[in-house]
Structure 1
């Protein structure tokens, strides 16, 4: 996709330089180019002469703008302010420039997609792998594993988004940071049902940056009724919208243990499934039953395709296994260590174990290398 041009009109040279450097050195480098003007006449002349579509970022003190600009086919105009609320009565969206720059640019892209880009939204250019983390029963460590994978891949330079599809999400691990975040999942479900073609253009509006682990995530659903009303077609549309946005290298799905049609759809649509196992005879028997039901109720080709994607992983390993995983039909792709510090957790910052995180991320990277080698 062609880069979008940002035109910044602001007399604050320090802010202009800071924003320019950030764009050139961040993930936004493949989405934006920027032209900064601290001189109003020079900036207005550039706007009148350029032949490229652009988004205008203008300091509110530069208003009013000449009427000739209104006749230009802009992408959109966004005011930037030194305050969280503009002191002027204006028709343009107003963003405070004293916020994280990634959040500022995300808001700019969201405004463009909301108001000016029905036919050609501002998307990314990345190819997205979908990693699902699943277990037959609760308590196997799905959410913690999903978070650690997302965190570690982010540390290694990949763009990652984590999405929880749990019926009762782990809200403490996916903090809701504002009122918009509280309704993000609900909005996503609404578009999946009413207008799925617009989903990819709305992701910028719904995503949040994890305050501790620094990957992106969609704040989980806030209303149990919506989970119950979610259909497999809705789930497929949501997943396709996230992939079509092309914002991420990796999408990590934190799935619910209930193996309903929605979870089946997400498992089948994923590129890799990390199926967590515990060294517990009751848990393993339930997993055998669950897999048997899956084979019987799904189309043979669908099951065979899913089987190739599954990586069985023993979680919370403390030593030599007590149960015969191979004998029960589980060929383990790896194991994740038991972390004693996680036996009781009171705050998000406690979810730190470099050894666990690296082991979890390696399961994803090794599967990717395997796929690449098969393709080659």
Structure 2
């Protein structure tokens, strides 16, 4: 899920610590990255570094009028008096209310003034979109993506597997006895037809072994390369509008084609798959360094990505620490997969799927991110 970056600025340190403790343990804690300050100098220094701030919650004592670089952030005044908002040009909240209500009011104001963020909230309350990406080939990305789908389905979740690879390998993993492929789906996506929702229902397939829905798309590189940003959004929104799925898992190839960048923008989480070597590390670091040029702003990818090391045999080869990268999960090297395997073998390896389940529990189901406390 895309995190909301909140800065809380108040001279009352006791209040800051109380609010911070609540937000670390609240049901909304996984939505936020929170930093708080009790003096203007530290706050201004933070903003001068170009740090992204979605919401600045600030008390009058912090002298908002003296601060600079406020253009790209949504400012909410933290008032001592419930009536202080009258005559204010900026929205405000009353500090002395139940903390759950305070947080709800802050989010309400933010979503009212940020249409795209409001749509994201409505969406993620129902469906989580996970892109699975690797900066280089040969990492076993599709094997991870499809196994992730099956293991999510074992949690009694409805899952859709969406393959956006230029040359997809879906048939190696998923099959349906009905036969008729989902050939027409991109026609309805491109025409932005009001029939798209019904066509999704008609053209999607279900694999009973993997327990996931998917499109049975023939390999057509030209068609995939012609997909536009709008096409990708139309298809993802169509799947969301069905109201059926708890998870949509998008399998991306290693290019930075517009369809892949759009899918990552639309995703709540990105599982970033690397092999146990230095190639993926170097390409990951290079991409993150170029993130603003590629995606229009920083932290589009970094805030969402969880790095998964696949084909791990117990000895770490790449130097992740040197590149300032953190591994969030390890998936084992399965030697038997070096030989030709059936779909059952590829989706039914106990050792591999135990680790997938561990990743699901830690990163998807029960992940709760802490807060960054600084500037007190």
TM-score normalized by the length of structure 1: 0.60
Matching of residue 316 in structure 1 with residue 311 in structure 2: yes
* Deviations 1:109-160, CA, capped at 9 Å, x for gaps: xxxxxxxxxxxxxxxxx92111111101111111111111111111221111
Distance 2:317 2:338 in 1: 21
Q: Distance in 1 between matches of 2:251 and 2:351?
A: 21
Report the counterpart of residue 360 of structure 1 in structure 2.
356
1:242 counterpart = 2:239: yes
- In the alignment, what sits opposite 1:151? 150
TM-score (norm. length: structure 2): 0.60
Aligned to 1:326: 321
Alignment correspondent of 1:260: 257
Question: Which of 269, 272, 275 is the aligned partner of 1:272?
Answer: 269
Matches of 2:282 and 2:267, distance apart in 1: 25
Contact 2:291 2:299 in 1 (8 A): no
Q: Which has the higher contact order (CA 8 A, sep 6+)?
A: 2
1:72-83 pair list within 5 angstroms? none
Query: In structure 2, what is the Cα distance between the partners aligned to 1:194 and 1:207?
Result: 18
Aligned residue for 2:263, secondary structure, equals: helix
Number of aligned positions between the proteins: 245
CA distance in 2 between partners of 1:339 and 1:213 (Å): 19
Corresponding residue number in structure 2 for 1:160? 159
Q: What is the CA–CA distance in structure 2 between the aligned matches of 1:198 and 1:372, rounded to whole Å? A: 39
Alpha-carbon distance in structure 2 between the residues aligned to 1:250 and 1:372: 18
CA distance in 2, matches of 1:150, 1:245: 18
Q: Does 1:304 align with 2:303?
A: no
How far apart are 1:325 and its partner, in Å?
A: 0.7
Per-residue deviation, 1:368: 3.3
Residue number among 191, 214, 217 corresponding to 2:214 in the alignment: 217
* Aligned partners of 1:196 and 1:241 also within 8 Å: no
2:344 corresponds to: 349
C-alpha contact (below 8 Å) 1:133/1:275 kept by paired residues: yes
Question: Could you tell me which residue of structure 2 aligns to residue 50 of structure 1?
Answer: none
Structure 1 unmatched runs, 5+: 1-125
Give how far 1:304 is off: 1.7
Inter-partner Cα distance in structure 2 for 1:135 and 1:371: 22
Distance (Å, rounded) in 1 between the aligned partners of 2:320 and 2:369: 27
What is the rounded CA distance, in whole Å, between the counterparts of 2:265 and 2:218 in structure 1? 22
Task: Report how far residue 201 of structure 1 moved.
Answer: 2.7
CA drift at 1:168: 0.8
Q: Pairwise mapping of residues 31-42 of structure 1 onto structure 2 (< 5 A)? A: none
Question: CA 1:281–1:305 in structure 2 vs 1: closer, same or farther (change >3 Å)?
Answer: closer
CA RMSD, Structure 1 to Structure 2 (Å): 2.3
Q: 3-state SS of the aligned residue for 1:307?
A: coil
2:160 and 2:213 in contact (8 A); partners too: yes
Q: Is the CA contact 1:221–1:227 (under 8 Å) kept in the aligned structure 2?
A: no
In structure 1, what is the Cα distance between the partners aligned to 2:367 and 2:341? 39
Equivalents in 2 of 1:320, 1:196: separation in Å?
Answer: 52
Q: Which residue of 1 aligns with 2:173?
A: 173
Distance across 2 between alignment mates of 1:372 and 1:203: 34
Q: Are 1:207 and 2:235 matched, yes or no?
A: no
Q: For structure 2, which runs of at least 5 residues remain unmatched after alignment?
A: 1-124, 372-376
